[in-house]
Structure 1
Amino acid sequence: MSEEIERIKERKMREMEEEMKARVEGEKGKKGLRGQRQGQGHKIDHTLTLTDNSFVETVRKYPLIVVDCWAPWCGPCKMVAPVLEELAKEYAGRVVFGKLNVDENPRVATEFGIMAIPTLFIFKNGEPVDVIQGALPKQHLEARVKEWL
């Protein structure tokens, strides 16, 4: 079953990448959409808000990004939010942190098979490299992020 889920995730990521490439091709003449990653060197000291439409572009833009899949009614998600804001400040310039409201953005949540929240994905160079489920203490989240620096 997990192999099938992995194949589905890979297929969906490819589809989303193709969709993004098509969008980029339609943006000819606009700087920063092709070539090197825009996110390098930018010091973002807060969590970014991601959507179904911005997800692929954002994940590919930054060399290392942690995406928190959450919902406003989720108690554990509310516990993780301030921790992620702290980590965003502490790791500004090295790691970007983003939040995806799964209620408002069901496409990405469905494509990644998110069954519980909070679920955090770590992406390195546009590829998912780690998944964290549940509200872990700051030191545990930080340790997992440091593994990918």
Structure 2
Amino acid sequence: MSRVWRTDCKYGIRFQISPKKDLKAWNHVERLYETGITFHSCGCSGPGYIPKDKESLIQFLEQEKEVYIKHRRFWSNRIEPENESERNKDQNKNCEFLFSIPSEFKTGTKKNRKVNLEKAVQYWGEKIELIERYIKKITNNYIN
């Protein structure tokens, strides 16, 4: 890839332009974009991991899917804590799950926060379905 950086590109401000004739590279960039992987960055930490080819993209998406399954399983089996002591233990033990759910699923006060478990399970289920569609599309339509 060239060292030209685009600031007006849908792929992100840190997108490195490939040669126009490199169809394989452009096809891969399009697959990345379709799965939500872009080159946006504030400049301090970079855009994060960018899979370099079809196999690494599929592997990356499969790993993300496993994380989503883990989250859905957590919310499917969740029993809300009853008192402040249980809430404190729960927050320390399960912060990975508790802080990765959209705030609109949360109700109550900061001290007595509850999560709509049904919506949480549905949220992670939808994320799993979406990533499965990405994997299927990439597997079936990827031009090498």
TM range (shorter): under 0.3
TM, length-normalised to structure 2: 0.22
Higher relative contact order, structure no. (Cα contacts within 8 Å, ≥ 6 residues apart): 1
Greater gyration radius: 2
TM, length-normalised to structure 1: 0.22
> Comparing both structures, which one devotes a greater share of its residues to helix?
2
> Comparing both structures, which one devotes a greater share of its residues to strand?
1
